[in-house]
Structure 1
């Protein structure tokens, strides 16, 4: 069975309703007992209140996991999703006061609570750090009540639109995942036709998608004004526990190394024998493209993980054996891939749209990396499990590197060249493309007025061309391709976290392969098991790196340069 077993969450809607009703009563009693009372509590009673709050947040997450995963499997279930999302928000209203009132305590009392609540220090200190952006309880309740009809509603509309889209290609009606997989086809005419087909369908949806983008921008601007954030990206940096200065340094270092991208694609153009490389040629396979069915991918991943760590192997095996993974594309299923952390009451859940391409193997490894990280973070308390995006992508990208190293051992030169090309392109997608995404978002959100479709396309093309320089020609059709990127809708300014993780992982992986750190694996497991209980700076310092150093990013970029140089040597032998 290659579908989720959601009965581990709830057997049916009746069981869900009983659980929700009980949680609602518990939340009401919690509010009745503690609202406006925190300043009267002893440290012992506050700790118990904090644990009760944590349990209620966990139960709400358990409910929302179930309804969201049902929707992800079948996006026609929007009404079911909306119903329980709204009911959950009613419960959450009873809990809003807790963090707000904690932040209003006098410094002496809040510091006494923090000192007593062992294991919760980092979480509580973060609340204090962010308190200047809190609103009153009444205002926070209004924002919570309206959240389902704001950006969340447009995100749902975006998902439902794309899951229902069909792309008419050579007499077949393909899903988004299936048409995009054609861009990896060895036949250039197929890639070109697929690109035109994808663009044509995007253009038909352009009016709706541009409206969604503008509404996301408008709401974020309103939230920033209400909460006194300096810029649209400030709240993301705070949640990621990283400074804008550090993000600027990441972007600057990456943009200053765009010559690596140009060098690779100019070499690829020569290998393919093309006079010009178009945007639909970026993922043209060099040599024979590998077809890897899901069972083969499973064996590869398990063997590679087992060679690295028994913890990686055990969690991945549980995922395969116990229906944690929904594998194949199907009608109305959400596109893309993710690993949903769920809660310690169950386990993480992985969504794939597996099409037997080599890149699907790496997507599987990527999402299993997230799953391993999420499962290991169950070791800390639930309020400490939420990992900042700056480190959340680390395990996923590291897992991809394990697979790359594992499968390259037994390949001939042609296969090795093909693998290197694909891996480098994956790194470019995770690193440089995400930098393009971030600079696109910065320019998009900097505009006070609504943008037209042409203005959005122009910004998109200008930022994308920086990466490719003279190596790849971006066609007019490519100007529409910003509009299908879900992160712009679901999580504005998310994307730089991928670039951050890619460079961090390359630095960590270089340390692992050098064998200079003899206990690397055990430190890495501790790193992942910490979840969000430590700052990214503290976590990275476990390996002797300083993420606030301007030189840090160049460690990872040098590894990218080495990979490209190895590819060039292989191609010239």
Structure 2
């Protein structure tokens, strides 16, 4: 008998329809026209002007006690300035065509930019201090919570411009990369795709169409594949212009700040070196044969010598339908078995409507967790489509939410997670969910299907993200030679995909435009590698959990609660993890290979 939790009952659907599964942003502001929002914007600017009058030119003369008091005020001003933009960005994510929200978002961005410009002197003056004078801050006990932040700040000194230049760059970003990022979201959110499903033509948005790439009917998968990438190919002129502009903006930034390696700024932001990132990329590429091996197995399963690209995400067997409420219950149970504390915190997200669940017109695609501020709380955006992938997405984003909730005791300057640790809680939560599901399966066929799902996740979260990063590096290098046509970016995408899949995949010409539908390339700089880093790191942490059992749980929660109060290396050392060890990543790939070997035996 199939486990009942992996199918949608009529009762479950009826209950869902009685619930309000949109998020409630009233903990931030009552509405986009809430007078309190404008008040906070104006107050933040006034407080920043007052702070500047008091401290500008004097940062180096402050005692440690005076600096601690100044930084408390500095953080309070930033919190007040960030809060309106947090609200506006969340409101925009679920209503991208709303002109009132867009206006408020623009106001919030401009106000935050003004506040940043008024406060730029703080970091610039601290960076410019002579080493022997700056050392008094690093040694002062009253500044102990900020020692890591101060040390990181000094690391940026060689790449920091004058205050006037920094202000100009901040202002230009409003009509530069930030504007192009928003335009990309608005533009692609309007895309509609006509797909034949069960003999009926439907008009769908991007996430709904992508979900059909996992449909059990190969005809539906092919229709969705053709509609999705056909649309992106049709929009190539506009999308290529956006990419060319964003890539040039990043090249200009690297040059102005004196970075000699394309990964230099990303590595510094993430407290790594370009060489450490390159080592991760190379280690993953060395294991690309695992990807080819899995897809050859999948091709045989579906009756092909080489897997058609439209079937890349085809379910291994009958894909279970998982309603949102069932995904919710499984996520809570999986978290609770690991830590009752995590389940208790996760329950708040559901009870207090901190989650926006289903796709709708005007809502952006994908999923994310907005971490908020120490004084607020996170929100999760989903586009749940009643499949196992959506259940994993809920667990993934909930992991991010738990991460932020555990670090809320940190002050603003230590709030967040550097990129190497950003995916630690999210991927770990997905693995805990899979463990729960595996225990409930009662046939080899079902176990094989879930193992295949785990391998799909490994491919998408580790291997493909490394492929994305290689493409981004190649695209940025090509952009140095001037504006590039879509064909060039297509060619680079083809090159990297063929490296990844070897001879296991049968591609079509439409596949080469897929780069233009990946928003990370527009919104962030070289962020994709962090998914691989985080995923493979989590496998190491998970292995430690399997070895130590419940003794590992407090160590893990301590890692999450640390925020940015220490370096990633210092935080991980508390759990006995050191990614710098030679061959460290090999252990993670052995876990993946063990899943593949088990699947091959079952198949």
TM-score band w.r.t. shorter chain: over 0.9
Equivalent residue in structure 1 for 2:47, among 6, 26, 31: 26
SS at match of 2:538: helix
Equivalent residue in structure 2 for 1:180, among 202, 210, 224: 210
In the alignment, what sits opposite 2:475? 444
In the alignment, what sits opposite 1:99? 123
Q: CA deviation at 1:311?
A: 2.3
In the alignment, what sits opposite 2:522? 489
Q: CA deviation at 1:226?
A: 0.6
In the alignment, what sits opposite 2:459? 428
2:296–2:306 CA contact under 8 A, matched in 1: no
Where does 1:125-136 land on structure 2 (aligned, <5 Å)? 125-136=151-162
Unmatched 5+ stretches in structure 1: none
SS at match of 1:350: strand
Could you give the per-residue CA deviations for residues 112-160 of structure 1, whole angstroms, max 9, x where no partner exists? 1232212100000000111110000100110111111111111101100
SS at match of 2:380: strand
Q: Which moved more, 1:65-74 or 1:267-276?
A: 267-276
2:138–2:151 CA contact under 8 A, matched in 1: yes
In the alignment, what sits opposite 1:413? 444
In the alignment, what sits opposite 1:81? 105
Equivalent residue in structure 2 for 1:222, among 224, 227, 252: 252
- Alpha-carbon distance in structure 1 between the residues aligned to 2:423 and 2:234: 34
Q: CA deviation at 1:443?
A: 0.6
Instruction: Say yes or no: does 1:235 pair with 2:265.
Output: yes
- Alpha-carbon distance in structure 1 between the residues aligned to 2:61 and 2:437: 61
SS at match of 1:173: strand
SS at match of 1:168: strand
Equivalent residue in structure 2 for 1:10, among 26, 29, 39: 29
- Alpha-carbon distance in structure 2 between the residues aligned to 1:343 and 1:39: 28
Where does 1:143-542 land on structure 2 (aligned, <5 Å)? 143-170=169-196, 171-411=201-441, 412-447=443-478, 448=480, 449-515=482-548, 519-542=551-574
In the alignment, what sits opposite 2:64? 43
SS at match of 2:578: coil
- Alpha-carbon distance in structure 1 between the residues aligned to 2:41 and 2:228: 42
Q: Which moved more, 1:231-240 or 1:438-447?
A: 231-240
1:325–1:351 CA contact under 8 A, matched in 2: yes
In the alignment, what sits opposite 1:67? 88
- Alpha-carbon distance in structure 1 between the residues aligned to 2:341 and 2:133: 41
SS at match of 1:169: strand
- Alpha-carbon distance in structure 2 between the residues aligned to 1:89 and 1:253: 40
- Alpha-carbon distance in structure 2 between the residues aligned to 1:551 and 1:145: 45
In the alignment, what sits opposite 2:15? none
Q: CA deviation at 1:487?
A: 0.8
- Alpha-carbon distance in structure 1 between the residues aligned to 2:517 and 2:444: 36
What CA RMSD, in Å, does the superposition of the two structures yield over aligned residues? 1.2
SS at match of 1:450: coil
- Alpha-carbon distance in structure 2 between the residues aligned to 1:56 and 1:519: 40
SS at match of 2:259: coil
- Alpha-carbon distance in structure 1 between the residues aligned to 2:316 and 2:571: 38
- Segments ≥4 residues shifted beyond 4 Å: none
Could you give the per-residue CA deviations for residues 3-31 of structure 1, whole angstroms, max 9, x where no partner exists? 11111001232110112222222111101
* TM-score normalized with structure 2 length: 0.93
Q: CA deviation at 1:391?
A: 0.5
1:202–1:480 CA contact under 8 A, matched in 2: yes
- Alpha-carbon distance in structure 1 between the residues aligned to 2:41 and 2:376: 17
Q: CA deviation at 1:521?
A: 0.3
- Alpha-carbon distance in structure 1 between the residues aligned to 2:260 and 2:451: 42
- Alpha-carbon distance in structure 1 between the residues aligned to 2:566 and 2:64: 23
SS at match of 1:118: helix
Could you give the per-residue CA deviations for residues 272-320 of structure 1, whole angstroms, max 9, x where no partner exists? 2223311111111122111010000110000110000122111210111
In the alignment, what sits opposite 2:583? 551
* TM-score normalized with structure 1 length: 0.98
Q: CA deviation at 1:110?
A: 1.4
- Alpha-carbon distance in structure 2 between the residues aligned to 1:518 and 1:318: 24
Q: CA deviation at 1:236?
A: 0.7
Q: CA deviation at 1:518?
A: 5.4
SS at match of 1:95: helix
- Alpha-carbon distance in structure 2 between the residues aligned to 1:262 and 1:347: 42
2:296–2:305 CA contact under 8 A, matched in 1: no
SS at match of 1:8: coil
Q: CA deviation at 1:238?
A: 0.6
1:545–1:552 CA contact under 8 A, matched in 2: no
Unmatched 5+ stretches in structure 2: 1-19
In the alignment, what sits opposite 1:562? 594
- Alpha-carbon distance in structure 1 between the residues aligned to 2:272 and 2:597: 32
